[in-house]
Structure 1
């Protein structure tokens, strides 16, 4: 099966290897690349906080680049949105990790179960753009949170011949879609280059992601049972 991978390049390479082991034919089409804000991250970490919140492995890559200024030690409490992010946190040196079920609202509920009323604000090391459900839920629960946007995802542009090679000349059987923003960008490119994809399935990691698929393509949308790549692969 020819499968388009729309994740950023570093993550897409890992996904491609998994697809090859499953005897699929991965087609890399990264839709964004991360820009890290090192000084903003260092400044945020230097301010008092009760615990860190991380919802993406990209955050851990950004922290790795500021080295000792990250101030990571075994005592630092970190809340990770899911197992994949937690694994990246372990690799970065964190040990006191609490793992959520995969979405922002659920992570907020986990944090509330661990903290009654922290003396210091929680520090959410976030990216841009993002859904905003995590900080909204924390506010509803009365938990103080400070958001530091330490990276942002910059859209990738493609030349017509690159789109021809990846999408038009050999139309894919499936496209893996990982976020609302990721999905909007994919269909923006498809429309810009007049790519129709009449037989392609669109495999979405969540209902929020699926909601961003244009109405004309929704009959071919399938949604993962849980917001993680294992569940997404189960749709193949």
Structure 2
């Protein structure tokens, strides 16, 4: 029996490696594809910090001509995975929130109250075209000046691989992992196109958050498991709980 990982490249390989280390067979079928979006960074702006809610924002920044001018700034990252991507991109002053936009907002406001970040600082938010929460608006309502640069988009992949469709049809997949609401929706579209919706939704759906889980529940999935925290290790723990009944 295999676990299906739907998250985009290259993060899916990280998840696959963690699963294989536990002796779990893995199938990869990304349902979203990363695309960088051309965006401008004002060379005259005196940014006080950079905010990123996904490692994809760092990938979008990689070839930007103004990238070097930002490396000296503090980075507020949504979680440790994104924080590590920022460090690998060359940023030195990186702090991680608890894994979602609310925790990130609270971390930024805590830094303002501690006077680590000046309240009148201009914050550069490297965002996706589709956002689960209006983080810029949340911070703006609290008196911060946020410049949002739309730097990337995640494009749905409408077709699962033939191998995955066949695996669902033959009941060889024991669970599916979901890491975002957009990927959950893209997964639903893809299994419908592939004609395997009933088989796909019959297996446990392991979700990184309640918001993601609601999409699968609304689609009729009977066995939806939610991670205790919005982090990779918590998703894998949820998977372990979901697979326990199958191993008896």
Q: Report the TM-score, using the length of structure 2 for normalisation.
A: 0.85
Contact 2:217 2:224 in 1 (8 A): no
Name 1:152's counterpart in structure 2.
153
Q: Secondary structure in 1 aligned to 2:228?
A: coil
Name 2:93's counterpart in structure 1.
96
Question: Which whole-Å CA distance do the structure 1 matches of 2:34 and 2:112 have between them?
Answer: 32
Question: Which whole-Å CA distance do the structure 2 matches of 1:47 and 1:30 have between them?
Answer: 39
Question: Which whole-Å CA distance do the structure 2 matches of 1:188 and 1:149 have between them?
Answer: 25
Moved more, 103-112 or 187-196: 187-196
Contact 1:72 1:94 in 2 (8 A): no
CA offset digits 1:76-126 (Å, max 9, x no partner) = 111011111111111111111122111101111111121255334211101
Question: Which whole-Å CA distance do the structure 2 matches of 1:199 and 1:157 have between them?
Answer: 20
Q: Report the TM-score, using the length of structure 1 for normalisation.
A: 0.89
CA offset digits 1:11-58 (Å, max 9, x no partner) = 112211111111111111100111112x41xx2263512210011111
Contact 2:9 2:33 in 1 (8 A): yes
Q: 2:61 aligns with which of 63, 67, 72?
A: 63
Q: Secondary structure in 2 aligned to 1:34?
A: strand
Q: 1:200 aligns with which of 186, 191, 203?
A: 203
Contact 1:45 1:71 in 2 (8 A): no
1:32 aligned to 2:32?
Answer: yes
Q: 1:221 aligns with which of 202, 224, 227?
A: 224
Name 2:75's counterpart in structure 1.
78
Name 1:14's counterpart in structure 2.
14
Paired residues in the alignment total 232
1:179 aligned to 2:169?
Answer: no
Question: Which whole-Å CA distance do the structure 2 matches of 1:45 and 1:202 have between them?
Answer: 43
1:167 aligned to 2:157?
Answer: no
Residues 130, 150 of structure 1: alpha-carbon distance in 2 compared, 3 angstrom cutoff: same
Residues 84, 201 of structure 1: alpha-carbon distance in 2 compared, 3 angstrom cutoff: same
1:110 aligned to 2:107?
Answer: yes
